[in-house]
């Protein structure tokens, strides 16, 4: 089940990056991939985005997808992010 979840996350990221589509990343706070990318472009870190918008403060299912989105966009892994 866990590997299927990771595959689904990967497929969504491919759709975002290749087709320039917008995906809801955090359902609880209604935060989409476009918003995350805009905030990253404005110089915010994922940790700052989490704090500013409350992303991950409820169910937390969005955090892995958000982290992968940033890694794929920036081309480098994110380290020392407190999840949850």
**32 with 15: CB under 8 angstroms?**
no
Residue 84: the pLDDT is: 42
Query: Residue 80: what pLDDT?
Result: 44
Report if pTM > 0.75.
no
Does residue 82 have a pLDDT over 90?
Answer: no
What domains, with CATH codes, occur in the chain? 2-74 (1.10.10.1100)
| CA pair distance 62, 67, nearest whole angstrom | 9
- The answer to whether the beta carbons of residues 4 and 48 sit under 8 Å apart is no
Q: How far apart are CA 20 and CA 82, in angstroms?
A: 28
Summarised one tens digit per residue, pLDDT across range 8-36 is: 666 666 666 555 668 889 999 999 988 98
Dig out the tokens for 34 from the structure: 């476009």
């Amino acid at each position: 089940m866990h590997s299927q979840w990771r595959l689904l996350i990967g497929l969504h990221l491919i759709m975002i990056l290749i087709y320039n589509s917008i995906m809801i990343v955090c359902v609880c706070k209604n935060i989409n991939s476009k918003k995350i990318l805009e905030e990253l472009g404005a110089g915010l870190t994922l940790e700052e985005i989490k704090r500013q918008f409350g992303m991950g403060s409820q169910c937390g299912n969005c955090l892995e997808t958000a982290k992968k989105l940033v890694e794929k966009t920036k081309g480098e892994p994110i380290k020392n992010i407190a999840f949850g």
